[in-house]
């Protein structure tokens, strides 16, 4: 039954219209819809817009519906146009005609905008927790990695010697920023649109700041038209999900490469890899491949939610019903990817081979720089050594102190110790660089953040 039946309409809705316009996807908003309604009827009672007995009866009925929502026993009907209609219908079944007072000084336009924001606040917190879980797994693996040294890569060519832990922690810091982006977004998401009505507010003396406070939100809207028309906070949420998925996709790409026999850096647990139906030897990193693939679908969600708003006249338009699918999909995809990658990383055993000897070339050049040789010249000297050794099929590993000095008198025989990748890491002193001290400091900072120093975990106590 539609909410508009019996007024100006003599005909009921055609089946075609119903099939096209009613979309059960918003059933996911059931719980937050009820919470918003409880806050609304309490405010109506306090403002004397309905009498306090009626407000209490409505709130009792809504709390019963909340229980049904939480327990999963709430029964939707095909004839419920949307989640808001379903709740009002069910409230009527529970408390009778008085349910008709629920929608006093409210429209589905401000109601759905509120529901979406309440959903986004929860989803934001859940994803911050998911991010922290994966950060924790990366930090634990960094601790386990100890003094394992690997090459860093630029252009997918071996570059400098770095602790494996430093590489793993690079991802942890990306995820920290993803978490803080969600935290920042909550300051904007947490503005309540309830009380904006259909678009212009109400002639009844409602108190939007009271409902905002009851719902634990930061504040209420300043402009009713903006409140019902805008979905930028939903787009911001999907953007936060997209950037996090891009980071997960890059992590996944590394994990996939590292698991190849060509790299041979890592073995994942059987429980987190898949076999092949045809090739008995295969152990595939499907979790990482799917996280990488699904990043594309979340970028699609971002395109959808942005494009949805483009060209809409003020204020609410039914197009906005389409905001839910990209929000829910981006949320589910990020949450699922975080959970699966946390498991995959947790199961990882790292056993990378030693880097190529050349990863210490820059260290050798920096030895000369310490002796006052201009860097450009030092680069040239070491480049010549690399070229000469390569021509003979040799590497730094075949060089001794005397041969090094023979290349350039400004070297000392002891400098040969600097061509060792471990020595390279040991001599690294620049702040934030790939040294063991830096890694220890990063682990301590990240552990502190995981212990609760992250504002994203504490900022908001909205329902
Ligand atoms: N199902 C609608 C949505 O998601 C709810 C708001 C409907 N408002 C209206 N005036 N028809 O956007």
- Concatenate the DSSP letters of all residues of 108-167 into one string: HHHHHHHHHHHHHHHHHHHHHHHHHHHHHHHHHHHHHHTT-EEEEEETTEEEEEEEHHHH
Domains contained in the chain, CATH given: 15-104 (1.10.275.10), 109-354 (1.20.200.10), 357-435 (1.10.40.30)
The reported pLDDT for the residue numbered 456 is: 47
* pLDDT at residue number 463: 46
Nearest CA owner, ligand 1 atom 2:
321
Residue of 25, 27, 108 to test ligand 1 pocket, by largest number of atoms within 8 Å of CB? 108
pLDDT at 461: 43
Name which of 293, 223, 222 is nearest 252 in CA terms. 293
**Residue 435 structure tokens:** 């040294």
At 458 the pLDDT is: 42
Burial 283-318 (b: 16+ CB within 10 A, else e): eebbbbebbbebbeebbbbbebbbebbeeeeebbee
407 membership: H or E segment, kind and range? helix 401-407
Distance separating alpha carbons of residues 404 and 416, to the nearest angstrom: 7
Query: How many angstroms separate the alpha carbon of residue 348 from the centre of ligand 1?
Result: 47
Q: Are 173 and 140 in contact (CB under 8 A)?
A: no
Concerning whether 155 is annotated as a catalytic residue, the answer is yes
pLDDT confidence of residue 270: 93
Q: Residue 193 corresponds to which tokens in the numbers above?
A: 């649109």
Note the pLDDT of residue 278.
Answer: 83
* Per-residue pLDDT at 3: 72
User: Which residue lies with its CA nearest to atom 12 of ligand 1?
Assistant: 321
* The pLDDT of residue 11: 84
Sign of the CA dihedral running 198, 200, 202, 206: positive
| pLDDT for the residue numbered 1 | 62
Give which of 102, 86, 80 is closest to 30, Cα–Cα: 86
Q: Is 222 exposed, middle or buried (0-12, 13-18, 19+ CB in 10 A)?
A: exposed
Task: Say which of 79, 187, 276, 388 is annotated catalytic.
Answer: 276
Predicted local confidence at residue 462, as pLDDT: 46
Whether 412 is a known active-site residue: answer no
- Please tell me the pTM assigned to this model: 0.95
Please tell me the predicted confidence (pLDDT) of residue 453: 56
Q: Are 87 and 37 in contact (CB under 8 A)?
A: yes
Along the chain (463 residues), what's the average pLDDT of each consecutive run of 10 residues? 73 92 97 98 98 98 98 96 98 98 98 98 98 98 97 98 98 98 98 98 98 98 98 98 98 98 97 88 93 98 98 98 98 98 98 97 97 98 97 96 97 97 96 96 97 55 45
């Amino acid at each position: 039954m539609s909410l508009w039946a019996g007024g100006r309409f003599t005909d009921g809705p055609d089946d075609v219209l119903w099939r096209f316009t009613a979309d059960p996807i918003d059933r996911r908003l059931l719980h937050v819809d009820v919470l918003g309604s409880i806050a609304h009827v309490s405010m109506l009672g306090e403002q004397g817009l309905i009498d306090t007995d009626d407000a209490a009866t409505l709130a009792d009925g809504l709390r019963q519906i909340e229980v049904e929502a939480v327990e999963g026993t709430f029964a939707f009907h095909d004839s419920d146009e949307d989640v808001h209609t379903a709740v009002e219908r069910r409230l009527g079944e529970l408390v009778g005609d008085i349910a008709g007072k629920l929608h006093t000084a409210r429209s589905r336009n401000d109601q759905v905008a509120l529901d979406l924001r309440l959903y986004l606040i929860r989803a934001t917190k859940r994803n911050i927790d998911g991010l922290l879980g994966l950060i924790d797994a990366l930090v634990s693996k960094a601790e386990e990695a100890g003094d394992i040294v690997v090459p860093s890569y630029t252009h997918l060519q071996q570059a400098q010697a770095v602790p494996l832990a430093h590489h793993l922690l690079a991802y942890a810091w990306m995820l920290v920023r993803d978490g803080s982006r969600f935290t920042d977004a909550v300051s904007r998401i947490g503005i309540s649109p309830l009380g904006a009505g259909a678009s212009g507010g109400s002639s009844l003396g409602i108190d939007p700041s009271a409902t905002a406070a009851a719902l634990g939100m930061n504040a209420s809207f300043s402009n009713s038209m903006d409140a019902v028309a805008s979905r930028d906070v939903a787009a911001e949420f999907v953007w936060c999900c997209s950037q996090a998925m891009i980071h997960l996709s890059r992590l996944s790409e590394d994990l996939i490469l590292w698991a190849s026999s060509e790299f041979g850096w890592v073995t994942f647990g059987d429980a987190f890899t898949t076999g092949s139906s045809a090739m008995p030897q295969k152990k595939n990193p499907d979790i990482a491949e799917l996280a990488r693939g699904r990043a594309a679908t979340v970028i699609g969600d971002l395109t959808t939610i942005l494009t949805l708003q483009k060209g809409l006249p003020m204020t609410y338009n039914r197009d906005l019903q389409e905001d839910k699918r990209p929000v829910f999909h981006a949320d589910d995809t990020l949450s699922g990817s975080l959970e699966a990658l946390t498991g995959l990383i947790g199961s990882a055993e790292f056993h990378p081979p030693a880097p190529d000897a050349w990863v210490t070339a820059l260290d050798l050049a920096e030895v000369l720089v310490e002796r006052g040789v201009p860097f450009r010249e030092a680069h040239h000297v070491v480049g010549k050594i690399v070229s000469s050794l390569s021509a003979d099929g040799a590497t730094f590993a075949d060089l001794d102190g005397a041969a090094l000095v023979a290349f350039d008198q400004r070297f000392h025989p002891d400098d040969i110790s600097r061509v060792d990748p471990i020595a390279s890491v040991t001599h690294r002193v620049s702040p934030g660089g790939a040294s063991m001290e830096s890694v220890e400091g990063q682990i301590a900072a990240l552990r502190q953040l995981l212990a609760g120093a992250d504002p994203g975990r504490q900022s908001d106590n909205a329902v």
